[in-house]
Structure 1
Amino acid sequence: MRTKILRAALWTGILAPASLLAQQQPMPKQIKVKGKVQFNVPADRPAKIWLSRDNGTGKAIPVDSTELGPDLTYSFTIKQDHPGIYQLNVLHWDRISFWSDADVTVSSRGYDTAKMKMKIPHFYYVKGSRDNDFINQMELISTNGYLRMVEDYNEEYFAKQHKEKSGDSTWIHYLQTRKRYNTGSDDRKQRTDLVMKMYEDRPVTIYALRGRSDAEGLAKLDKLIALYPWLTEAKDMKATILKNKAQQMKLQPGQPVPSIAYPDAMGKVQGLEKYKGKYVLIDFWASWCGPCRQAIPKVKALYDTYKSKGFDVVSVSIDTNEKAWRKAMEEEKMPWEQLLSDNKDKTMEEFQFGGIPTLYMIDPAGKIMGKYTGFSPEAEAGIKKILEERTVAPKAKSAAVPMASF
């Protein structure tokens, strides 16, 4: 009798196998999103909130938008076939992600009221389901990890400055030789791995697998695909990751640089052919990017030092606001060629970057020598070493699809 009851329970779903429950997970067809901000935008800016959904390809799909109410609140009603990752763009300032398997509520600061504005990550708790708490934890790990990285970089920078100005090397020696209990990257991985174990095999873990091209990440995606046939984003994400991996192989040192055909400040389409025989630094930037603007004086110093030795720079902006691009060019007065991408997403995909400034060093034959994310002291030293020693790109490790070169 007990065996019969157990079998009946399994088939009726009371004690259904985990894989069966995964496939038959209740999917709310409609949820409510409620939000409130502390500060409104100035009168000359749109007081709007935009809602988009991550479809697994790395490109958010716009879903809806609304005006901020007089009481600084807003709301959305989401109609869906299955839960997924959504993002709120609040007043073009805060960006907040959540999982849509239940109603959610969020409060954020809103528009920055400081005189000096800097866009840095900020964590906001989204009240929702237990699965949504996975995203809350991942966001907090990411935010704190970024802030720790900036803090570590700043301390080392000022320690070096202190040594140069005073001759006292105690501070920088301590930073460079002390044994840390954990590096920033190790700490972040340890925390991420723990949360992944806590939510093992849950569909929301797809949030942490975005962009992961390692074998473990792809295996986890395969598992989600098998467990949750309705989670179409997992299949699309895997296809996108594999496509990006193939493109990354084309951008390894020794490979020809992808062809460039972007309009200059006069509207004339330009490429890289004219730079044959020169070392070229391609700098991807934007007017709104603080680190990009801070790097420009350092790039100018490189340009002034090495331009007579066969070195040039080409800046490619991914601005979508041409007026802002032209205003930034006027302010920065960069003496090298300025180009504007006519398709930001395509440019970022072709050159495989998600953050700026991103720089590529190209040798006189049009081959990639190196890629730098951010103009760090290490990047600057690497570029100088190439120019001083007149080295060229190594032989490519594997053949790539033919691409334009000088």
Structure 2
Amino acid sequence: MKRLILWGMLLLPLAGICQQQDTTVSTKGMFDLDPGLVMTFLSKDSVDKNEVLRDIDALNALLRIDIGEAAMMKELAAIDREKDSTRFYNFVTTKPAALYREKRILMQQFVAGHPDSYVSLYELNDNDGMYSADSYTVAYTKLSNRLKNTQAAQKIRDRMTQLKKISLHGTQAADFTRKDQYGKTVRLSDYKGKLVILDFWGSWCGACRQSHPHLKELYEAYKDKGLEIIAVANENVHGDKTPLVKAKAAWLAAIKKDGVNWVHVLNDEGAGGMDIVKAFQVTAYPTKFLLDKDGKVLLRIEDGLNVEIDQTIKSMLDK
């Protein structure tokens, strides 16, 4: 899918592109929407191809506006990965993700501003991670009847149904007890009275860890105003039963390297407690929940770049 391709492009430095010293590298078209993907998505519907291509060009023109790509690539090329690995790591875990977040917000804005465009239909389907269950439904509702009557729209309705089933919106979050990274016993219910981000991640998850710098900014801004983050790490996501000692070591090393100094627990700490991941129906990483001060679910998102949690926290704590 296009999103995976684009995300991979931003992670290319991890694969060695950082060795390139050509600071004139072009970033034009880095985020371009592929017409072939759009037409495949619409293949069961009778659409005017020229109209679709026109709207693709309109979106691509918006996405080609340089909001920092050239400067990012120039800065990347100036980093010596071998001699300054810390600077390199800090760069690739902050700049690309922040830039991609802004581009995806532009995609959302295109959908909102073009309710009768087939490209908006495609974007809503392909960019679903930038929406909570409620906002996804709202965005779909605002589309024209012409779009809603397409076969392609059924994919969005199916996703809406799935999101509603797993959103847990308004329900009391399942309580759990674990030892944190320092060996202290913590309970989720101990944090009633605070807004809580419940962050499901893993040391193996690149997208999860690329969301850490932004979470650090959010935590710094609101921890004294009533925000707490409780991170639940799943180190056995691939089904291979990682020995507890190895899983714990990877978990603690990632916490230290990323400098994420909030509450951390392991899903499986070998104590026979409830499976937190199953209790919250988590199947994608990162998945984040925002809990209100009574411990009820306000939002669930399955994307490290979604900004709805930020907006909700700001509206509730910036008073």
TM-score range, shorter chain: 0.3 to 0.5
The normalised TM-score by structure 2 is 0.48
Structure with the higher fraction of residues in helix conformation: 2
Larger-gyration structure (1/2): 1
